[in-house]
Structure 1
Amino acid sequence: MRTPVPDYLAEVADACAPSTGGELASYIPELTRVDPRYFGLAMATVDGSIYSVGDAEVEFTMQSISKAFVYGLALRDRGMRAVLEKVDVEPSGDPFDGLSFEASTGRPRNPMINAGAITAHTLVGKEGIDADERFDLIHRLLCDLAGRELRVDDEVWQSEVRTSDRNLAIAHMLRSKGVITDPAEEVISAYARQCAVLVTARDLAVMAATLANGGVQPVTGKRVFSGAQVRQLLSVMLTCGMYDSAGDWVSAVGIPAKSGVGGGILGALPSQLGIATFSPRLDAHGNSVRGIQTFERLTADMRLHLMEVAPPARSVVHAVRVVGEGEDAVRVFELSGLLGFTAAERVLQWLSADPPPERIVVVDLTEVHHIEDVARRMLLEGMRRMRLDGHVVHVVDSGDVLPDPDPGDGVMLGPPPMAI
């Protein structure tokens, strides 16, 4: 059987293709030469499956999409506290090139506007490295995220440098307040080079899937970011990634995302997938018109909005059975699915309201594919209390979903006392 996912993506692309609204980015001369008819759509799952339709293999420059990943690299290199001292995380409500600073400190409002992105750029690597060394670190990161070697469009890079008066002014303001210390011209040249890295929609989908996968590149298996770094990055993308239309985006789409004036948009849905579009016609906010329409269609069709309320996991207790008779009887609880706080609470509430009469109890996790840490601790505490009530508790965990348990007096790990 051929999976229907590519056919669905083609259907979505066909539905959004007739839109011809928006204009090419005009403030960077080289971007006015891009074919406005380009339209690509790609999707990558956290297990490495990749689907693409249309012009998803056409290269274009990352532009502001690079801001998100460079912010993540700054977090990785300098740590959360050091980065927050230099760049805030508040939505500005201003255009991407707005002068959004804290009045008292000069700290940029967030790392997705130019002022914050320029600051985050200077926080990559150790203090004292030069602009070329810093760019090499950024380039290496972007290649690791894409899973291939990426090149720079030198013509776009130089075009941006020649038209960078506003960014230079922002850099000089940052220097005047001590937010950055490197020469403004060197910083802006390297920053423009970062924005001129070439990617495809397929690349961006894989890069987004790396974030959705908790920082592990789903094709190569390489860890790029830690889980804590991804959480911070996705949080800022959700609230600030679409500039002064971030509120509309969160309401209509509800996926952490980042756009660029090269025509790309990427979105990362935690634990599920990465999505990317490429269409160079932009709206007044600098976001791809077709890209927004495509994301709105996808999130409506597939119910991808982060605030979509799923039915509660009422079937976490898959089955309950008794093996044996009399004093040798064993009560077996078979759990299934993904166990988080609410699922674990349901199990513990059930055991509390209807405690097993059998002395020997087995908790079978064979059908559980993941246990959140809070659920793990709750279950272990429940088992400890059952032990104190006089039960002998065993765990069947053939998939090792309950790693490194510290049960205290609460649970005996190992095979159950009889075949089950």
Structure 2
Amino acid sequence: MLLEAALDDIRPRTSGAPAGYIPELADADPDRLALAVVGPRGRVITAGDDHVEFTIQSMSKPFVLALALQTMGRDSVFGRVGAEPSGEPFNAISLEPGTGRPANPMVNAGAIATTALIAGEDIDQRTARVIEMMSAFAGRSLWVDEAVYRSKSATGDRNRALAHLLKSYGHIAGRVDDVVESYFRQCSVLVTVRDLAVMAATLAFGGRNPVTGDRVVDERVARDVTSIMASCGMYDFSGEWLLRVGLPAKSGVSGGVLAVAPSQFGVAAFSPRLDEHGNSVRASAVVEMLSERFGMHLLEPHESIAEPGVVIEASPGGPIVRLSGELGFAGAERALSLLKEIAASVPDGAEVVVDATALARTHPAAITVMRDEFAQLAPRFRLLE
């Protein structure tokens, strides 16, 4: 099996150590290793210690951002938190000069500011909304590990300092302690590598959970979250990660990494040993290996986008051209070029019917180009949508 083979290749790597600054995480078994992949039809494939539960930690940040964007909109959210890579460690005490905005929602300061945007009169209400959203992404009910929460709260003075600094700039309304404790609780939600892969896949397929079929967030929200993950999700290693792996991703100090291959897969891996950036050594390595072996790099050329499926059928009145797959702007240009060649070869009086009803996805610009061109070529072309 491909996933088992990938884990076997990575297993000998033993550098790094579990997060030592949170007692409950420091006790994690460093030899745990798991991997999961979820495709477009919702099939979940796992390998290794896929049954082991661990806390989501900073991998909660994309999903809390999704909740904030879904309920408040882009302008409101990014008025409080930036969208630029920080180039600094995840827990750096660093805010934008003048405005006091955190650099992005993936570092701790930005995540705390994002959590503060979630509606709730107290810790329980805010946490409930966050967990409801994360559960929808995972396709099952999730809950908090109370022991890890207590451990994070007992050692969270740096995050409290960040929150008070944000409060001084007006980026937190209400009680600082409520926001910080809500943040600690969202990071203490228990997941498996399978859950993370389903959550990543929901982002990969535009906010629709491929396992449950439920729409969790709008496509634009999923796109915005994935964009932030691409530039900021792996902390001060994000630039090199995008170069080497080419997948929007998010790591957590429990040892998890989730990655998004848009329109292809959701991927997640788990292994507790961390590197100097706070990213899992083996989980990062196995995701990089999968990206290389399966050609999942975001900037790999994908011919299916530029070349939709085309089947030509003969009929008494003229050829029928059936389009399938995805029709983007580039694909529309190629399809029109082919259709003009077909039209030039059919006798006068014949009609070329273009059946686009089987297209899985059509970009609005692509269909506009097709309609405009067909209006000029009528009556020789007829478009079925």
TM-score of the two chains, using structure 1 as the length reference: 0.86
1:50 aligns with 2:50: no
**Range with bigger deviation, 179-188 or 7-16:** 179-188
Q: SS where residue 30 of structure 1 aligns? A: helix
1:348 and 2:342 are equivalent in the alignment = no
SS of the residue aligned with 2:196? Answer: helix
Of residues 135-144 and 225-234 in structure 1, the stretch that sits farther from structure 2 once superposed is 135-144
Return 72-81 or 346-355, whichever deviates more: 346-355
Q: C-alpha displacement at 1:55, in angstroms?
A: 0.6
The offset of 1:314, in angstroms, is 7.7
1:352/1:72 CA distance change after superposition, 3 Å: same
Of 32-41 and 350-359, more deviation after overlay is shown by: 350-359
Task: Specify every segment of 5 or more residues in structure 1 that has no aligned partner in the other structure, as ranges.
Answer: 1-6, 397-401, 403-420
Match of 2:365 in 1: 374
Corresponding position of 1:220:
212
Contact 2:207–2:219 (8 Å) recurs in 1: yes
Match of 2:320 among 328, 332, 347: 332
Query: Per-residue displacement from partner, 1:363-416 (whole Å, max 9, x unpaired)?
Result: 1346644332222121112211112xxx254345xxxxx3xxxxxxxxxxxxxx
The answer for the alignment partner of 1:233 in structure 2 is: 225
Q: Secondary structure at the match of 2:148?
A: helix
1:358 equivalent in alignment to 2:358: no
| Greater relative contact order (Cα < 8 A, sep 6+) | 2
Give yes or no for the alignment of 1:110 onto 2:110: no
* Structure 2 residue 93 is matched with structure 1 residue 79: no
Preserved contact between residue 46 and residue 210 of structure 1 (Cα < 8 Å): no
Which residue number in structure 2 is paired with residue 210 of structure 1?
A: 202
What does the per-residue CA deviation read over 1:313-355, in whole Å, with 9 as the maximum and x for residues that have no partner?
A: 786574556644xxxx524334444321112112323455775
Q: Which residue of 1 aligns with 2:21?
A: 27
Cα deviations by residue, 1:140-167 (Å, 9 ceiling, x for unpaired):
1111111112121111101111111100
5+ long unaligned stretches in structure 2? none
1:275 corresponds in structure 2 to 267
**Quick one: which amino acid aligns to residue 144 of structure 1?**
A
Q: Secondary structure at the match of 1:86?
A: coil
Aligned partner letter, 1:145: F
Deviations 1:97-155 (A, max 9, x none): 01231101001110000000000001112xx6222211110011111111112121111
1:413 is matched with none
Shift of residue 78 of structure 1?
A: 1.1
Identity %, equivalent residues: 44
Which amino acid in the other structure matches residue 65 of structure 1? M
Q: Displacement, 1:361? A: 2.2
Match of 1:62 among 56, 63, 68: 56
Match among 364, 374, 377 for residue 383 of structure 1: 374
Contact 1:317/1:333 (<8 A) preserved: no
CA contact (8 A) 1:315 1:336 kept: no
Alignment-mate amino acid for residue 67 of structure 1? K
d(CA) in 1 for partners of 2:357, 2:131: 43
SS at match of 1:186: helix
* TM-superposition CA deviations, 1:21-72 (whole Å, max 9, x none): 1111011111111111110101111211000011111000000000110011
Does residue 250 in structure 1 map to residue 242 in structure 2? yes
SS of 1:258 mapped into structure 2: strand
- Confirm or deny: 8 A CA contact 1:40 1:279 kept in the other structure: yes
Q: Aligned partners of 1:124 and 1:368: how far apart in 2?
A: 37
Distance (whole Å) between structure 2 residues aligned to residue 349 and residue 323 of structure 1:
21
Distance 2:258 2:306 in 1: 34
Counterpart secondary structure, 1:394: strand
- Answer yes or no: is the 8 Å Cα contact 2:304–2:326 preserved in 1: no
CA contact (8 A) 1:317 1:347 kept: no
Encode CA deviations 1:286-321: one digit per residue, 9 max, x unaligned: 000001110111011001000012347786574556
Cα distance in 2, alignment partners of residues 100 and 110 from structure 1: 11
Specify the code of the residue in structure 2 equivalent to 1:257. Answer: A
- 8 Å CA contact 1:13, 1:294 repeated in 2: yes
The aligned amino acid for 2:295 is R
The corresponding residue for 2:30 is 36
Aligned twin of 2:126: 134
339 and 157 in structure 1: CA distance in 2 versus 1, 3 angstrom threshold: same
